[in-house]
């Protein structure tokens, strides 16, 4: 009878960790994509607003209206700066998540390799035991036959 793999609980934990890290990486990827989309949206909005301001300047505008345009563009610039920082942090987190996944997969593969070696060793042991039992059975059978032939003579 084969004995159970003593590290099986660790194999199970490694699989759970791998699944958790994979889910987390998916979330980090979505966060990064969302941050990228928001940044692009802000940049496009700023570009559109800048064009709107230039058109208004060409058509003539009052100083107060120009100040309002400029203030809003400055606020958009601040928002773009903040969103760039959010995106940068999301990219760093995503890279760490990728590293974590690589490490979790490496650990899981190591435990799987150990489990496979254990199974192979147990199979070899079972095979040896079975062969020994067959050899003993054959030996007894031959001894029994020899004893029968000896009784007949």
User: Which tokens is 111 given?
Assistant: 């435990």
DSSP H helices, the chain, are: 8-58, 63-152
Domains, the chain, with CATH or none: 9-122 (1.10.287.1700)
pLDDT by 10s per residue, the chain, length 153 = 567 777 788 888 889 999 999 999 999 999 999 999 999 999 999 999 999 999 999 998 899 999 999 999 999 999 999 999 999 999 999 999 999 999 999 998 998 888 888 888 889 988 898 888 888 888 888 878 877 776 665
Contact 84, 39 (CB under 8 A): yes
pLDDT, position 140 = 83
pTM as predicted = 0.70
pLDDT, position 28 = 97
Polymer length of the chain: 153
């Amino acid at each position: 009878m084969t004995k159970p793999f003593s590290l099986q609980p660790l194999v199970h934990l490694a699989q759970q960790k791998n699944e958790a890290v994979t889910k987390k990486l998916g979330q980090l990827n979505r966060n990064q994509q969302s941050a990228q989309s928001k940044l692009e949206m802000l940049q496009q909005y700023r570009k559109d607003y800048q064009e709107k301001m230039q058109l208004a300047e060409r058509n003539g505008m009052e100083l107060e209206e120009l100040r309002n345009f400029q203030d809003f563009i400055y606020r958009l610039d601040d928002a773009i700066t903040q969103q760039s920082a959010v995106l940068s942090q999301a990219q760093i987190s995503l890279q760490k998540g990728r590293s974590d996944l690589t490490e979790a997969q490496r650990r899981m593969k190591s435990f799987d390799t150990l489990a496979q070696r254990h199974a192979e060793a147990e199979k070899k042991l079972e095979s040896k035991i079975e062969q020994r039992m067959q050899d003993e059975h054959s030996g007894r059978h031959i001894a029994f036959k020899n004893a029968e032939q000896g009784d007949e003579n």
